[in-house]
């Protein structure tokens, strides 16, 4: 897919051509609607499909991974369920990356601390995970990121380099904010939809049938439903000789600034 920075000049050229055509032929106005349709469709798709990296660079999988390694990632914690997730990961000698919300860190500091103590990686998932995240301006997004970093730094001497935007939304404001904060935007290649789908079998099948080396898998450590799915998934991964490693190990990127 075209990136935002590449499609803008193309659309400008389309706009100039369509305007000139419209001046000489009324029937050519369909060019204007075509340009608007292409722009709107590309921008909407780019905003909501984080894999496209439309507005900013995004890491969403390890391409050409020659080992059977994937990364399990858990969003929206820490919560009491996180403790059970940690026990499960320890049982399978698996490592994961947790994209934590600042207000949840403040609510469960001991659970947050345990995530790091057990060798998992922490990522920034904003301070409040606002439902209106996609409508925040760059300054507001930067504040959300910085506040979450501050909550992390209150407990451990780490500033995370990894940032996952709520709902996977990217737009020019997100791009501007992460350029200032110098975070790597982390997406996913295998989305469980565990917060949307009720049927645990469907969630498990959705992830397991698509699983390939280099995948970054999106889960949420917020419900017992996901805990049960993760239990089945880790058993399946063991059978298929898949190993779960942290994002920094999979992508060979530094997880923190010290």
Q: What are the backbone dihedrals phi and psi of residue 169, each rounded to the nearest 5 degrees, phi first?
A: -80, 130
Q: Which helix (H) or strand (E) holds 234?
A: helix 224-239
Contact 70, 237 (CB under 8 A): yes
Strands 190-191 and 216-220: parallel
Catalytic residues: 75, 220
Q: For residue 62, which of 257, 243, 256, 258 has the smallest C-alpha distance? A: 243
Q: Are strands 159-160 and 121-124 parallel, antiparallel or unpaired?
A: unpaired
Residue corresponding to tokens 């059970």: 84
Rg (CA), the chain: 21
């Amino acid at each position: 897919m075209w990136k935002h920075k590449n499609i803008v000049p193309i659309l400008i050229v389309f706009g100039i051509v369509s305007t000139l055509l419209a001046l000489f032929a009324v029937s050519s106005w369909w060019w204007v609607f075509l340009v608007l349709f292409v722009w709107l469709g590309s921008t909407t798709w780019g905003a909501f499909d984080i894999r496209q990296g439309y507005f900013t660079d995004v890491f969403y999988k390890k391409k050409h991974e020659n080992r059977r390694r994937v990364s399990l990632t858990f969003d929206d914690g820490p919560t009491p369920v996180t403790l059970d997730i940690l026990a499960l990961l320890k049982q399978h000698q698996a490592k994961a990356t947790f994209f934590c919300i600042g207000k949840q860190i403040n609510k469960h500091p001991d659970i947050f601390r345990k995530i790091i103590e057990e060798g998992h990686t922490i990522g920034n998932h904003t301070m409040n995970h606002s439902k209106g995240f996609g409508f925040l301006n760059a300054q507001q997004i930067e504040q959300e990121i910085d506040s979450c970093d501050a909550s992390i730094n209150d407990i451990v001497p780490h500033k995370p380099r990894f940032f996952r935007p709520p709902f996977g939304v990217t737009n020019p404001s997100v791009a501007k904010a992460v350029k200032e904060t110098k975070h790597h935007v982390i997406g996913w290649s295998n989305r469980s939809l565990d917060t949307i789908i009720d049927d645990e079998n469907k969630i498990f099948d959705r992830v397991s049938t698509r699983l390939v080396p280099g995948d970054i898998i999106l889960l949420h450590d917020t419900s017992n439903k996901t805990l049960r799915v993760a239990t089945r998934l880790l058993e399946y991964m063991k059978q298929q000789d898949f190993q779960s490693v942290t994002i920094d190990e999979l992508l060979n990127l530094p997880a923190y600034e010290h």
